[in-house]
Each structure stands twice: as structure tokens, then as C-alpha cells.
Structure 1
């Protein structure tokens, strides 16, 4: 195999996670508190079912939906509607040329990371910097070369009620000339952390000063799907790349990512699309088009999607507090996304070993050590003391899983 082939046939954390997820779903006997699959929200599924029925009833609606390629930037009508909505709602100075669709956010980040980092024309090598870790597991293997990412540890604010919160440590954030872009997710997968508006403004100022883009992964963020339980304003300017998705609205299998950026970046994404896929798939855009055109997508996100997940977050937090009792565990303040992030201080084994133990008890979580891209070569005990737990499954499944996790962890501390 080529170097490319060797790199992408190594077992990556994200592929192991997805393989475990697929295997567990196929068997149907696992408590699925692991993967990032969004909940099957009845109101959202009904909405998309009705929209599909409307398309099927249109003259040649079905035939055009499945039978025609879109352009390399994706469905033009959807892109136009989205540009109008964002311009009119937030005053963003954008048009259709500032938007491209991709086959999911994972695809978008592979393209963006390798656009801005790796070997440069002058022979130097640039990196992608994550100003705050932990960060999304899917970033870790997206670079075409090794030593592709660099990260900074957060500061940790201890809070009442057994909670804590990560913040960007700006005192340690030295952005060198070898950094090609800054990247953050908001809310952050895995922790549910939402960077404050001030943190975003500060990062934007640093990026502009260095002449590099600030990439914001907005897959769970505002204005849709708006899975945020705290104050957060949408942010975009010509130096910012905002990546969005239709997955967490309830369309994960349709793989619809959205990149909003200045025109030359969007043109580059379109070129990637043409070479790699001919064109992005258009089914997600067709199903969501009328929601975007009317602005209903923001109202649905605010009134249906956000409250649904916030209730589940608070309920799962309460269950963990009941089951863990006085065990030395802190939970990241739930501010968004689909997950709780648990920190077991002085855990008697690694999070990876806990993951394997829970798998034998048919409970799937994700070990926290996977979520520190750019810190692979830096020892930090905290990396091995955390786990990510999804609360997107039905309440009974989540509650059972919480009990199993608490019971297993209690055994570990008891026998250390």
C-alpha cells in the first residue's frame, strides 16, 4: 500500500466507534450510550415523513429527487434559501457563493483540514490547532500526514453540584507561524461545553491577527439544530468557516453537511466535491428546503429539538447523581449536544479498560482518551479518567445504562 493507504487502513478511533455502534445496533441487545446517533424525535420524524409524502405527490418530484445530479456545491435552491435566511435573520453578508454542501460534516472537515494544513507549497508544514481539548473523536485521523494537529489543555472550573466546566486557556494559547487554522466545536462533542461569546470573539481576533481561518463546527449549534441550553450567539465573518449539518435534526443517514465561508474557500470545497463525489447527495437538502425557505427550521429547532434534549440531559444528570452517590465523579456542566462527560477522579483503571468492562455488560459508552487529538504524545492523567455518555436513546435504555455504569465504577473503586 501507499503511505496514504497505510494511514487510512490503520484502525482509527472513529471507525472503531462506528463499527461497535453498527455491530451493537445489528444485534439489538446493547444499551446504546455510546455513538452520536441522534434521537428519533417523533415530531421531527413525522415532519420529514409528511415532507417526503409531499415530494412524492409532486409531478415528477420523486423522479427528480433521485434521478438528477446537483452541482458541485449542492442543491442550488436549498443554498439560495439558506443564504437568504441567514442574511435576513443575522445580517450576515453572504450569498449563495458563500455556501457549499458536503456529504456530511466529517467529509467537510477532511477537506477543510487538508486545505489549510499539511505540506505547504514552500515545503513547510502547517498544523490545525484545537485551542481547547477534549474535542471531537472524528477529527483525530482526518489529516493526510502525521503530526497534523496540535492542541492546548483547558483550564478547569470546579462548580457546585459536582459539576465542572472547561475554558480556553488563553494564557497558554501561543499560535505559531506553523498553524494553518484554528478549530473549535460549539457545542463541543464530547463534553457539551459551549464556548462563550467572549471566547469566540477572542479566538476570532487571534485568527484574524495571524491571517488564518477560525473554523467553527456547528453541528449541534445555533440557529439549527440549536441543541444549546445556554446563551450563545451565532458567529460568522469572512475569516470564519462555519460548518453545519442536518444530521442532528433527525437526518443522520442522509449525510448533509453545510460549509459557510468566503467565496474562495467554498469554491475549493466544490472542487473537492467534484473530484471525490461528482456532487453531494441532495435528498437531505430536498427534505429540509421548505423548512429553510420559511424559516421554520429555526422555530422547530427552538421549540421541539432543543427542549427534547435539554429534558433528557437534566434527567440523565439526575440519574447519575442518584446512582453515583459519593463516588469521586464530576460531570461537565451540560450546555448542549447529546452527551454527558463524566470525570472519575483517580479512576482505578483507564477509561479504555472501563469501556471494555462495560461492553461485557452490554453497555456501550466511549472512552474519553479518544477525544484529545493533538495531545497524543503528551501524558495527562485526566485523559484516562473521563467517559462520554449519550442520552439520545429512550429513557428506559439510558436509565438502565446509568445504573450499569455506576455499578461497574463502584466495584472498581471498592477493589482498588
Structure 2
């Protein structure tokens, strides 16, 4: 087959073939060889937790014995899910989000990332009135998977965050209200907790933004992949509720089921209707396995207790262990470092203020040693101002075993120590 050249490619295809953070991340996951020296601290896979996996195995066994197995394997769903499952989800999720939902507020997708590819393009690019609308990321760094979703080039705009010192070797990002600008913005998107930093934007900050967005009828998308009601990795912060003007997305990936690819969208009926048209063209139908498993998990009310009694304690313990391991190695090797307060999620966001090479170069040096990390430069889509953190930071998952974390911390600390300027 003749390879595509730029002269025979659309502008969109040409852009997609360029260096993508999300493609790099997922290819790293897919190209793992199983070599005993590989240290997989880059990807977003949840941890394998026996108590959770036993529950999921029971779901599989129940489905295998159920007469509906023939429909699960042999029938299409509707583009955004059959009415029975959407009604179940609406009734189940209503008390968790403080509102009465109906099936017209619910859509299922093959992962929430799939849904965002439609949501972001519905509200950005060239509009029917001839204007060009952008996607505002109000606080960066933000999820790597948003960056290449837009069909139109240069569709993202981001606000440089406030950097707030919170202790020795600690900081967090804050919402920059001074530079918050909705000019030519078609939608606002954020994740809570934020992937990659674990930052959890306060409800007070969210309400402040909504005072601005609602005046201009600009929708706010809140990605709850790590948030409430499951896996509910939000520490002591208050949960998000649903209200007009918000579109919420939930995911089964971070409860431990990334392979079933189920994302749930909660929004107003008009948005759901438009998403149904998009899904029919782009997907034909949502996959069956996720919604059939959801049927069992929701009817038995399993997920809130799983989150409270298993997932949150597990990840809290993992996070504390990982921070201790990495700090110990950094201090042994004389590495200058700052860690973003890990308020939720699966990741550590680490800044090396005296790094004499780029974080992308650091990624490659680590990969040469079979250590997989993610370069932080991918997480600043739409930021057009100078900000040293775009070159200083990396993301690590702490979902791996203690021995793997320890080996990874040792290798990373040695490489950073050997590429550290006295001042920067």
C-alpha cells in the first residue's frame, strides 16, 4: 500500500499523524514486552485489586448463566444505549447527583474519551454564524487525551495557573481568575480530580466559573473519571452535583474495568440528542458488555461501598507509600524536586526545577532504562504563554507494586541527578 503523504492527506489527518501525547502513552502500554526489568509508571491502568476483581468476576459468571447472554453477544445496542439501561442509570444516579434524572439525560459511550471527541467538536470550531469558537481549559496541566480531540486546529485555549507553595517540596495549582477569559469560547472543560496532577478544583471555584459561563450560555464539561460517585477518589473535597449548564462524564475504567470501555454522560436532553446523532455516525452502537455489567453493579448497589471500603483505602495507602519512596530516593541523590499535592486520582505530578534537559528528553532517557514515565509537556494544550512547568514536570502512576515503584524511583533519581543544573 502506498503510504499517505501530506499532499494526499487532510489537514486533520496530517495533524493526527504528528507527535501525540495520548498515542505515545497508549503505545507504551501496548508495547510492553513483559521483560522483568520493565517498570511501568507511565500509563493510566488502574491497579489490580483482588477484592474488586472478585466482584467483576462474579458479574461475568452471572452474565454467562443469564438467558440474556444471547442478546449481549448477538444484538446491537442503540447508538447511546437502549432505553432500559438508560432509565436504570438515570434512576440509580439521581440521588448521587442531587437531582431527578430521566433517560433523556443519559448517554453511554465506548469510554468517556469517546464521548469527549464528540462533545468538544460540537461546541468548538467553525459555527453556523461564521464565528470560530474555542475550548477553554481553565486550569492546566489538564488531561492528555483532550489535546488532539478537535477536528479544527488551534481549537484549545488555556489559562496559565497560579502556582501555590503548600510546604517543603510541595505546591499546587490554583485557578487564575485574573486571566480567565471567555472571549470566543464555545465550551469549558476540566477534570476533577485533574489528570495529571490530582488537583481537585473546589466547588467554590466551579461556581465562580459558572457565574461567568452561564451569562454567555457556555456549557461546562466536568470529567469525573476519578471523581464521585465512583471511584470517588476526591479526598475530603465535596462531590459534584448535576445542574443545568453542566455536562458530567463518568467512567468504569478507574473502578478497575478499563477493558469494557464504558463511559456515562449526564447532560440536558438537547445535548444527549445531538450526541446520539454523533454516536450513530461514529460508532453505530455502544458496546454491550459495559452496560450489562452496569446493570448488575447498579441494581445491587455495589459501587459506592466498593469505592468507600476498597478503592479509596487502597489508593490512599499506595499514594502515601509512593510519595515516601520517591522522596527518599530524591533526597539520597540530591535531586531538587517539588510534588503537586496529590489530592486524588492515580498519579504523582513532579517538578524538577533545576533539570538541565527537557522533560521529553528525560522520558527517553528513562525509557532507555526500561522505565516508562510520561513527559509533562503534553498536558498544556492551548497554553501560549511561557511557563517553566511545561518543560520541568513529569507524571507517574503510583498504582504499581512497591518493588516496582522503588526500582523506578532509584533509576529516575539517578538520571535527574546527572542532568541537574546548579541553578535555572
TM-score normalized by the length of structure 1: 0.95
Judging changes above 3 Å, is the alpha-carbon distance between structure 1 residues 24 and 104 closer, same or farther for their aligned structure 2 residues? Answer: same
Please name the residue that 1:327 is paired with: 335
Please name the residue that 2:5 is paired with: none
Q: Is the 8 A contact 2:21 2:144 kept in 1?
A: yes
Any idea what SS the aligned residue of 2:119 has? helix
Please name the residue that 1:206 is paired with: 212
Please name the residue that 2:243 is paired with: 237
Aligned residue pair count:
413
Aligned residue among 49, 61, 64 for 1:56: 64
Residues of 2 paired with 1:25 and 1:239: CA distance? Answer: 45
Deviation, structure 1 residue 378: 3.2
The answer on 1:129 being equivalent to 2:166 is no
Residues of 2 paired with 1:9 and 1:207: CA distance? Answer: 34
Deviation, structure 1 residue 373: 0.5
Any idea what SS the aligned residue of 2:190 has? strand
The answer on 1:218 being equivalent to 2:224 is yes
Please identify, of 325-334 and 81-90, the stretch whose mean Cα deviation from structure 2 is larger: 81-90
Judging changes above 3 Å, is the alpha-carbon distance between structure 1 residues 414 and 73 closer, same or farther for their aligned structure 2 residues? Answer: closer
Aligned residue among 354, 374, 379 for 1:371: 379
Please name the residue that 1:144 is paired with: 151
Residues of 2 paired with 1:21 and 1:296: CA distance? Answer: 29
Residues of 1 paired with 2:240 and 2:13: CA distance? Answer: 39
Please name the residue that 2:358 is paired with: 350
Aligned residue among 158, 162, 177 for 1:155: 162
Any idea what SS the aligned residue of 1:184 has? strand
Any idea what SS the aligned residue of 2:270 has? helix
Residues 285-318 of structure 1: CA deviation (Å, up to 9, x unaligned) = 2112222123321121121111111111111011
The answer on 1:382 being equivalent to 2:389 is yes
Deviation, structure 1 residue 327: 2.7
The answer on 1:67 being equivalent to 2:74 is yes
Q: Is the 8 A contact 1:127 1:180 kept in 2?
A: yes
Q: Is the 8 A contact 2:96 2:241 kept in 1?
A: no
The answer on 1:104 being equivalent to 2:119 is no
Residues of 2 paired with 1:61 and 1:255: CA distance? Answer: 20
Deviation, structure 1 residue 26: 5.6
Listed as ranges, the gaps of 5+ residues in structure 1 are: none
Deviation, structure 1 residue 336: 0.7
Judging changes above 3 Å, is the alpha-carbon distance between structure 1 residues 265 and 8 closer, same or farther for their aligned structure 2 residues? Answer: same
Structure in which a larger fraction of residues adopt helix: 1
Residues of 2 paired with 1:4 and 1:162: CA distance? Answer: 41
Q: Is the 8 A contact 1:181 1:213 kept in 2?
A: yes
Please name the residue that 2:191 is paired with: 185
Residues of 2 paired with 1:84 and 1:65: CA distance? Answer: 22
Please identify, of 6-15 and 36-45, the stretch whose mean Cα deviation from structure 2 is larger: 6-15
Runs of 4+ with >6 A deviation? none
Deviation, structure 1 residue 414: 7.1
Q: Is the 8 A contact 1:120 1:126 kept in 2?
A: yes
Any idea what SS the aligned residue of 1:413 has? coil
Listed as ranges, the gaps of 5+ residues in structure 2 are: 1-8
Residues of 2 paired with 1:42 and 1:341: CA distance? Answer: 27
Please identify, of 364-373 and 390-399, the stretch whose mean Cα deviation from structure 2 is larger: 390-399
Please name the residue that 1:311 is paired with: 317
Any idea what SS the aligned residue of 1:170 has? coil
Q: Is the 8 A contact 2:12 2:153 kept in 1?
A: no
Residues of 1 paired with 2:34 and 2:124: CA distance? Answer: 38
Deviation, structure 1 residue 276: 1.2
Residues 86-145 of structure 1: CA deviation (Å, up to 9, x unaligned) = 223442132111010111111111100000000101221000000000001111111111
TM-score normalized by the length of structure 2: 0.94
The answer on 1:113 being equivalent to 2:109 is no
Q: Is the 8 A contact 1:75 1:285 kept in 2?
A: no
Deviation, structure 1 residue 212: 0.6
The answer on 1:261 being equivalent to 2:267 is yes
The answer on 1:294 being equivalent to 2:288 is no
The answer on 1:407 being equivalent to 2:409 is no
The answer on 1:361 being equivalent to 2:369 is yes
Cα RMSD between the aligned structures?
A: 1.6
Judging changes above 3 Å, is the alpha-carbon distance between structure 1 residues 414 and 374 closer, same or farther for their aligned structure 2 residues? Answer: closer
The answer on 1:43 being equivalent to 2:51 is yes
Deviation, structure 1 residue 415: 8.7
Any idea what SS the aligned residue of 1:379 has? coil
